[in-house]
């Protein structure tokens, strides 16, 4: 009996530590998988750091490419992540069929997270978030930018009042007139929106202008770019909350539609 109790306790601890097994997946395979776009146009220092970040959260990661999105099997991807790079290149590589497949997956309940160019791709070419994406932010170049969080919101409620996040020619967002969208973070220097979130069908979309995936004071992100900058805190808890929100683990739960495997 004592052995059974110890095993049960260890199992409970592991389920708490590994959020990838604790949080229900959206695709029905019992594994939370983050699909990270790593094709041409995607910056390697962005997608490598993002991969480390999502693995730190406890999730499985999979590199995805345009050919997979256009005609492959994406039925196991719970959240699509598009990193910094070139939104124009993403638009050229992901064809009309691929864009519609992404929209259909998100409409059915899956998530999308985009950073910098990945955010621009979501707004300009996928039309899954009703914002205008502009850059640069007045007063910023390549530096740590202070972003104040806006509460209440499930992503920001348990976080500090602000984060210092790396800015590299990053965008800001202007919500469309009458759009149903949450601005959850603003650049302190200008007051312009830096973080936005919205729903698309039954799915959720979280966009960041600056780069929370980089850990400027640590090598755990797997890249050395911008390590000369002084980061006050890790931004990964912010991204973890954003990912959990996209997985319907924060905020009102929406039951996703059953996923039909795409051949």
pLDDT tops 60 at residue 60: yes
Residues 6+ apart with CB under 8 A from 216: 144, 166, 226, 227, 228, 229, 230, 231
Q: How confident is the model at residue 252 (pLDDT cuts 50, 70, 90)?
A: low
What is the architecture of the domain spanning 25-246? Answer: 3-Layer(aba) Sandwich (3.40)
Share in percent of the chain as helix, strand, coil (round to 5): 30, 25, 45
Q: What is the pTM of this model?
A: 0.88
Above pLDDT 70, what percent of the chain? 87
In the predicted model, what is the mean pLDDT of residues 7-36? 63
Please tell me which of 10-14, 37-41, 223-227 the model is most confident about, judged by mean pLDDT. Answer: 37-41
Report the chain's mean pLDDT, rounded to a whole number: 89
How much is the pLDDT for 263? 35
> Domain map of the chain by residue range?
25-246
Token pair in block for residue 15:
């389920």
Whole-number pLDDT of residue 24: 61
Q: Quickly state the pLDDT bin for 117 (edges 50, 70, 90).
A: very high
């Amino acid at each position: 009996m004592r052995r059974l109790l110890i095993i049960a306790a260890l199992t409970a601890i592991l389920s708490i530590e590994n959020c990838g097994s604790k949080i229900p997946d959206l695709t029905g395979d019992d594994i939370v998988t983050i699909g990270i776009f790593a094709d041409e146009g995607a910056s390697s220092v962005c997608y490598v750091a993002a991969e480390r970040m999502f693995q730190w959260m406890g999730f499985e990661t999979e590199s995805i490419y345009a050919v997979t999105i256009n005609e492959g099997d994406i039925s196991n991807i719970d959240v699509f992540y598009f990193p910094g790079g070139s939104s124009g290149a993403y638009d050229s590589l992901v064809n009309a069929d691929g864009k519609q497949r992404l929209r259909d997956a998100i409409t059915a309940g899956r998530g999308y997270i985009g950073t910098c160019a990945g955010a621009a791709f979501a707004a300009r070419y996928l039309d899954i978030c009703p914002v205008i994406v502009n850059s640069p932010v007045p007063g910023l170049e390549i530096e740590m930018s202070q972003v104040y969080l806006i509460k209440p919101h499930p992503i920001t409620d348990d976080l500090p009042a602000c984060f210092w996040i790396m800015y590299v020619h990053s965008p800001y967002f202007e919500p469309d007139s009458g759009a149903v969208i949450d601005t959850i973070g603003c650049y302190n220097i200008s007051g312009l929106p830096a973080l936005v979130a919205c729903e698309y069908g039954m799915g959720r979309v979280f966009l960041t202008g600056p780069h929370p995936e980089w850990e400027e004071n640590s090598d755990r992100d797997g890249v050395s770019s911008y390590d000369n900058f002084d980061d006050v805190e890790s931004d990964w808890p912010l991204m973890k909350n954003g990912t959990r929100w996209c997985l319907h683990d924060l905020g009102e739960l929406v039951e996703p539609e059953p996923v039909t495997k795409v051949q």
